[in-house]
Amino acid sequence: MKPASATPAQKKLAAQVEKIVGATPVTDIHTHLYDPAFRNLLAWGIDDLLTYHYLVAESFRHCTMPYEKFWVLPKARQAELIWQELFIENSPISESCRGVLTTLQALGLDVKKRDLPALRAWFARQKPDEHAARCLELAGVASICMTNSPFDDLERPLWERGFRRDKHFTAALRVDPLLVAWPEAAPRLAKWGYATTPALNQKTISEVRRFLADWTRRIQARYLMVSLPPHFQYPGPDDGAQLIERAVLPHCREFNLPFAVMPGVKRAVNPQLQMAGDGVGLSNLTTLQNLCAANPENKFLATVLARENQHELCVLARKFRNLHIFGCWWFLNVPSLIDETTRMRVELLGLSFTPQHSDARVFDQLIYKWRHSRRVITDVLLEKYSDLAATGWTVTPAEIGRDARHLFGGAFEEFCRR
């Protein structure tokens, strides 16, 4: 809709949608952020923003330095190299680069000076707790779901010791090693006091369930979660499929928790890029269909990494009410694909999905990830409400607010409560 040609009613609707969607607080259902109690794991500030693995991958499009030389540099030096390659020698127009600038600008910093030392000096003056609160406010985020792995040697000890939880943070139990690398996971569980063997006999399965129950209670998990390679198959004889069938799904039923499935990631397609080296592949979503069809008492959350899987995912969600789809994940978290994906989901599913999660790893990223996505979601909603208005159906401000709350966490909460 061109503003010049808009009628007063259209302008009024646009202003209402902008205001209401802009003010709706978000429940961010998947991030890699941590409760402040995880002091050593917290990432924030300009050097963490610049060394985000999305930007590392982009900087190696230009950087000719051997990978191993880059990785031994201190974080500040890596940040300087990335700044030089992606912001000074080239215009920072990729989504991840633009995100850094959106964030800095929202924090009140002048980006046009291109002055990295000055930016660093500003961040050095911030108090972490106050800064985090400001980021939440600027992003409009009310609640953050972490990704918590008992297999992570840095976070496990803290959970085991216990700490006072911050009310803004909820937890999700991430179980990738259990399901995609069982031969290595089995001895670890055994070391932690669970009587597991590599063979999936009945005793081992019940011990895996005990492990899942202990960790679900310990972290108060909202859901269990796994990312899967494109070729993953269920049902199947592989350890992962067996463990899902015999341990994860019964556990989720017992605790009434959704199981979040994230298919499509090819880990370490370029191991030299370390964490930035993962790729994407087309998944066979028959696996998800089988999960939903064979386990109607289970609830599934799903997001896919391949754009080409999005349409089939939407259709699956139309078929299975025990499936809730969410987010534009990782390589899909760019405005053109968020727009396309959100539009398609609204057209096929109405409001019964969660359009976005941030996947933020650095606290400040909440600002740009949500500002950019909120913009796209607002535009899509406005277009759809305008189409309704053309039929004579007008939405009230209360209805717009209800719909926005649904998209920004309400639909997810409702699905979890079922």
Residues that bind ligand RAT (CB under 6 A): 32, 147, 227, 330, 359, 361
The entry of Zn ion, ligand RAT, none near residue 227 (CB within 5 to 8 angstroms by kind) is ligand RAT
| Residue 328: other Cβ atoms inside 10 A | 27
| Residue 391: other Cβ atoms inside 10 A | 7
Residue 315 CB, nearest approach to ligand RAT (Å): 24
* List 80, 239, 359, 379, residue binding Zn ion (CB under 5 A): 359
Nearer CB in complex with Zn ion: 58/359: 359
Q: Under rule CB under 5 A, how many of the chain's residues touch Zn ion?
A: 1
Inter-CA distances, 317 with 266, 345, 387, Å: 24, 10, 24
Residue 65 CB, nearest approach to Zn ion (Å): 27
- Select from 60-68, 82-90, 359-367, 406-414 the region that touches Zn ion (CB under 5 A): 359-367
Residue 39 CB, nearest approach to Zn ion (Å): 21
Nearer CB in complex with Zn ion: 123/370: 370
State both tokens at 227. 């990312």
Nearer CB in complex with Zn ion: 239/359: 359
Nearer CB in complex with ligand RAT: 32/266: 32
Residue 393 CB, nearest approach to ligand RAT (Å): 38
Which residues on neighbouring strands pair with residue 323, listed in sequence order?
300
Residue 375 CB, nearest approach to ligand RAT (Å): 20
Residue 30 CB, nearest approach to Zn ion (Å): 6
- Select from 17-25, 40-48, 352-360, 406-414 the region that touches Zn ion (CB under 5 A): 352-360
Residue 288 CB, nearest approach to Zn ion (Å): 18
Nearer CB in complex with ligand RAT: 102/227: 227
Nearer CB in complex with ligand RAT: 247/265: 265
Nearer CB in complex with ligand RAT: 207/278: 278
According to the binding rule CB under 5 A, does residue 379 interact with Zn ion? no
Nearer CB in complex with Zn ion: 32/188: 32
The entry of ligand RAT, Zn ion, none near residue 361 (CB within 5 to 8 angstroms by kind) is ligand RAT
Q: Tell me which residue of 333, 383, 413 sits closest to 98, measured CA to CA.
A: 333
Residue 30 CB, nearest approach to ligand RAT (Å): 7
| Residue 61: other Cβ atoms inside 10 A | 10
The footprint of Zn ion (CB under 5 A) covers 359
